[in-house]
Chain A
Amino acid sequence: MTTSRTSDALAHTEPSRALLLGARDTLPLLPGTIPFGLIYGATALTVGMPAWLTQMMSIVVFAGSAQFAVVLLVAGGASAVVLVLTAAILNLRHVLYSASLGPTLRDAPRGWRLALAYLLVDEVYGVVIGRMLRLPMRQRVRYMLGSGLTLWIAWQISTLVGILIGARIPAGWSLDFAATLTFIALLVPLLRDRALIGAALIAGVVAALTLAAPLKLGLVVAAVAGIGAGMLLDRWHARRDTSAPPVVSDPRAADHTAPPAATAEEG
């Protein structure tokens, strides 16, 4: 009930107020974002990254998990090629967000679309995807801008504070391990079905077996192997279930709207 009332209010609101509503709807996510920014800033400094580069990455890349990966790989002495490849693979999911939001922004002015693309991070996608379509275009773009700017400001400030803290943390504390623990906390909620678990397992095993590969290239091989394993499991699962009524396997449907359908697939 609350959501429908809110969206009705949104549809009739002033464009300038849509910006504030986007910001307001993003506030509940900040307690999850700010610690990541703090830890990122602090760990980057303890592995020897310069402060200016640490802050610059938050501005230029603006994607938490890719930034953590760079810190972890810099600590492990990886080459520039592996840094770029790993970060690019981690950020591939943004293509999915972009494809998903594409139709809703199709008629927005070009400048708005180019600017909003920069702010398209996980949290902003999660906030706006449900509400964007219910808004007229002038409100729609401002709603996303409000959400994106709120997250951007929180990310920059928490990075900066993390840098200030990190400068006082001794290297002996091995704070770089916090990056790996953060990845574990990010990975576990993603393991929603057998194919996804299989993708993670195969990627992990291949990564362990290719530890000694030069330039940490094993990491890239492992990620690709995991993606392949997940797709094979998906196909195998679909073939085994051909006797059952067809199940629509749209990943976006599982994420947001239909909890009863999602539980039926498990077990």
Chain B
Amino acid sequence: MALALSIVLIGVLTYLMRVAFIGPSRLSLPPSVERALRFVPPAALAALIVPDLVGHNGALVLTLANPRLIAGVVALVVAWRTRNVAATLIIGMAVFWLLSALLPG
């Protein structure tokens, strides 16, 4: 139930952000805020990606025995070279499954 309420709240907040400047208001965005917003997508995405690649039960695992880290780095290179979401996903998952099968635990 907490999850359902969180999702509703996220939906309401998202709608408020979308309607902020095309709804009833006649506001416009200060240039400094506009400059800050430019950095939101890369910062937020990186903050989501990195813990999933380097973390395991709350501890840093920066070793070659971490399949998520290796597959993530490979996916980064594939995304860089191809700019192709499908290729990034397929190759990333393939490397991840292969390493998971090879490495014990």
Q: Which residues from chain A contact B54 at a C-beta distance below 8 Å?
A: 208, 211
Distance between Cα atoms of A66 and B12 in the complex (Å): 13
Instruction: State the Cβ distance, B41 to closest chain A Cβ, in Å.
Output: 5
The B-contacting residues of A in range 180-227, CB under 8 angstroms, are: 180-191, 195-197, 199-208, 211-212, 216, 218-220, 222-227
Which residue on chain A has the smallest CB distance to residue B49?
A: A183
- The tally of residues in B whose CB lies under 8 Å from a CB in A reads 68
Complex contact A177–B68 (CB within 8 A)? yes
Complex contact A188–B83 (CB within 8 A)? yes
Answer whether residue B102 sits at the interface, using C-beta atoms and an 8 A cutoff: no
Instruction: State the Cβ distance, A256 to closest chain B Cβ, in Å.
Output: 14
A184 touching B11 in the complex, CB below 8 Å, given contacts A102-B28, A105-B22, A212-B59: no
- The tally of residues in A whose CB lies under 8 Å from a CB in B reads 94
Answer whether residue B64 sits at the interface, using C-beta atoms and an 8 A cutoff: no
Complex contact A185–B85 (CB within 8 A)? yes
B residues with CB within 8 A of A: 2-11, 13-15, 17-24, 26-29, 34-55, 58-60, 68, 71-72, 75-76, 79-80, 83-86, 88-89, 92-93, 96-97, 100
Pairs of residues from A and B, 4 with the lowest C-beta to C-beta distance, nearest first:
A226-B43, A230-B39, A60-B11, A102-B21
Could you give 15 example pairs across A and B, Cβ below 8 Å? Answer: A35-B85, A60-B7, A66-B10, A80-B5, A90-B41, A94-B14, A98-B17, A99-B20, A101-B22, A180-B52, A187-B46, A188-B80, A203-B47, A227-B40, A227-B43
